[in-house]
Structure 1
Amino acid sequence: MISATEFDTGRQQLFGLAYRLLGVADEANDAVEDACLRWEQADRGSTAHPEAWLTKAVTQRCLDRLGTTRATRAHHLGAWLPAPVLTTALGPLATAEQRDSVSLGLLGLLENRTPHERAVFVLRNAFGYRYRAIAEILELSPGNCRQLYHRTTQHFANRRPLCQPGRAERVRLAEQFLVAVRAGDVIGLGAILAQDVTVWADGVRRVAIAPHPVVGRDHVARYLAAAFRKIVAPVRFGFAEVNATTAILAAAEGKLLAVVAPEIDENRISGLRIVASPEKLLFVANGLSARTGRMPVFDDERGRRD
């Protein structure tokens, strides 16, 4: 029998699983809560492996949810991006593969896979489950699970796993990026952007958010400089570890307006994902407030971080 303490210890891992499957933190929390309630009502004395029971319950709840949301997400106006979360909410990320598995880039790619393909990939790639265990969770055959995993990895064959540099280098590039974009310095932006850099933005109703990906160093530099010039309200900026990278936060009057998550390749920014949908920012905003009691910001007047 699993104790309340043991459940709380494993809860973060269950959340990490649900978040990877759904890409939305609030929905992931709901899946874990549902599993918790079902566990309380289950005949726990006859359950030999509580962790496996909970993993299966969370996974099945997420599969049901994915079945109802895929059509809505497919018709989303502009890019559909996962809701960002603070890295600390995702539990230990000891390997490059685990860190890559929570990146907004990979989670976005998983949106194009079927729910079962996504589940097999997450369980095996991020958590190291064997095919037999995955088959028991998904109620499929091990051979079917192996085929689903192979199909998904083939889809990602041309994608190089994200390997972010250390935090100090990420912060340096984020600060350099922020200084350049605030100054409208197209040349300065070009110096830190990769040739084939791409910007994806979710929140098309917001001013200055592009409804389609912007591709190429020159286009991206001009787009970012022009977008910043359109901001009329006083906006303050900060940094936080989000989805295993150093993200830039934009806030006004204490309210989080956007999270900008860069991907870095060979000391240049190769991708930027801008999440500005209000409902997708609530979880990370609440996490920041709970951790610090205030929004960490970049002080415009003194030119340094608080």
Structure 2
Amino acid sequence: MSDDEAEDADRQDGPAGDASGDATEFFVAHRNLLFTVAYEMLGSAADAEDVLQETWLRWVRVDRAEVRNERAYLVRIATRLALNRLRSVQRRREAYVGPWLPEPLLTAPDVADDAELAESVSIALMVVLETLGPTERVVFVLREVFGFGFDEIAAAVDRTPAAVRQIAHRARGHVEARRPRVTVTAGEARAALEAFRVAVETGDTQGVLAVLAPDVVLVSDGGGVKQAALRPIVGADKVARFIAGGIRKTGASVTGAATTVNGNPALVLSVDGEMDGVLAAQVADGRIVGLYFVRNPQKLTRVGEETMLSRR
């Protein structure tokens, strides 16, 4: 069944262009939720915005009198569009130069205050979500993050509730086996990043090593535009040498500014005063176990202005 056929089974279209003020107001009221749903599924703000635009175009044609649950129906439209786009972008990502990391978003303090939302949009967890198949990822996000029922998810992904329950169980097991096992406070993460920043700015290689866990993993994303490692770097010594070598090669002044990205502490790194990338970290027992460095300029457009995210 196509997306259009599935939607026709749930409602009847009204006259084209018959978008009322109430429809606009309802869509705007749920925009942050819809963006968050699409972003968690796609890892790209640009793709999420495209999904929202397409969702709006479909929403304004809906005869709302025929819709039983408008919020669920809006999410269903966005989910189907995001699922289609996820399948297509995965093919593009196979040809991506080097590792692909999610697009970092500068987020408001209220995102960090919502622990479940902050974890779900963290770069570390979104990297794990990239290892799921498209349908598994959509089911996991809708169920575990947004709390939708199996019947609602089944309608969104065109599966039976029983099938969705199985997919959810499989996806949850996959994620649990790979997600961070140690919960740290924002203060602990911020302290580790601050120690790392000071060591990098002062060229203190031993200081860098002191804050890195022995089995730390560095993943860098340059997108073929900026220099980055073509595969993850594993081990404190190798990571420290990679960082020190990069600084020596540029011969420039490297500085870091504390920020909040995807609801979690992060650093904006600058070279000679120009933004060079965003560094997110995964911390356990006071030391950094994962570093995610996004340098691709196309992914740095959302770190200058806050993006509003919501689970409601």
User: Residue 282 of structure 1 corresponds to which residue in structure 2?
Assistant: 301
The 1:256/1:45 distance shift into structure 2, 3 A limit, reads farther
Is 1:10–2:37 an aligned residue pair?
no
Is 1:262–2:281 an aligned residue pair?
yes
- Contact 2:98 2:224 (8 Å CA) reproduced: no
Distance (Å, rounded) in 2 between the aligned partners of 1:5 and 1:253: 45
- 1:84 alignment partner AA: P
The 1:30/1:254 distance shift into structure 2, 3 A limit, reads farther
The 1:61/1:200 distance shift into structure 2, 3 A limit, reads same
User: Residue 165 of structure 2 corresponds to which residue in structure 1?
Assistant: 146
User: Residue 303 of structure 1 corresponds to which residue in structure 2?
Assistant: none
The 1:30/1:162 distance shift into structure 2, 3 A limit, reads farther
The 1:275/1:266 distance shift into structure 2, 3 A limit, reads same
The 1:97/1:40 distance shift into structure 2, 3 A limit, reads same
Distance (Å, rounded) in 2 between the aligned partners of 1:170 and 1:235: 21
- Contact 1:192 1:268 (8 Å CA) reproduced: yes
Shift of 1:66: 1.1
Distance (Å, rounded) in 2 between the aligned partners of 1:114 and 1:106: 15
RMSD over aligned Cα atoms:
2.5
Shift of 1:98: 2.8
Larger displacement relative to structure 2 (189-198 or 29-38): 29-38
Which portions of structure 1, spanning 4 or more consecutive aligned residues, are displaced by more than 6 angstroms? Answer: none
5 Å-filtered alignment, 1:30-45, equals 30-45=50-65
Greater RCO between the two (CA within 8 Å, min separation 6)?
2
Which of residues 184, 207, 211 in structure 1 aligns to 2:203? 184
- Contact 1:195 1:216 (8 Å CA) reproduced: yes
Aligned-residue sequence identity (percent) comes to 36
Larger displacement relative to structure 2 (51-60 or 31-40): 31-40
Structure 1 residue ranges without an equivalent (≥5) = 292-306
- 1:60 alignment partner AA: R
Larger displacement relative to structure 2 (220-229 or 17-26): 220-229
- Contact 1:164 1:245 (8 Å CA) reproduced: no
Larger displacement relative to structure 2 (76-85 or 225-234): 225-234
Shift of 1:12: 0.7
Distance (Å, rounded) in 1 between the aligned partners of 2:117 and 2:241: 34
Is 1:68–2:88 an aligned residue pair?
yes
1:155 alignment partner, SS class: helix
User: Residue 156 of structure 1 corresponds to which residue in structure 2?
Assistant: 175
User: Residue 137 of structure 1 corresponds to which residue in structure 2?
Assistant: 156
1:247 alignment partner, SS class: strand
The 1:220/1:92 distance shift into structure 2, 3 A limit, reads closer
5 Å-filtered alignment, 1:61-210, equals 61-88=81-108, 92=111, 96-161=115-180, 165-203=184-222, 205=224, 209-210=228-229
Which of residues 204, 207, 231 in structure 2 aligns to 1:212? 231
1:282 alignment partner, SS class: coil
Distance (Å, rounded) in 2 between the aligned partners of 1:39 and 1:249: 38
Distance (Å, rounded) in 1 between the aligned partners of 2:71 and 2:25: 13
Structure 2 residue ranges without an equivalent (≥5) = 1-19
Shift of 1:169: 3.1
2:217 alignment partner, SS class: strand
Shift of 1:54: 0.7
Shift of 1:168: 3.3
- Contact 1:198 1:215 (8 Å CA) reproduced: yes
User: Residue 244 of structure 2 corresponds to which residue in structure 1?
Assistant: 225
Shift of 1:164: 5.3
Q: 1:54-109 CA distances to partner (integer Å, 9 max, x unpaired)?
A: 101110110111121111112322111111112339x7566544322111122122
Shift of 1:37: 2.2
TM-score, scaled to structure 1: 0.85
User: Residue 50 of structure 1 corresponds to which residue in structure 2?
Assistant: 70
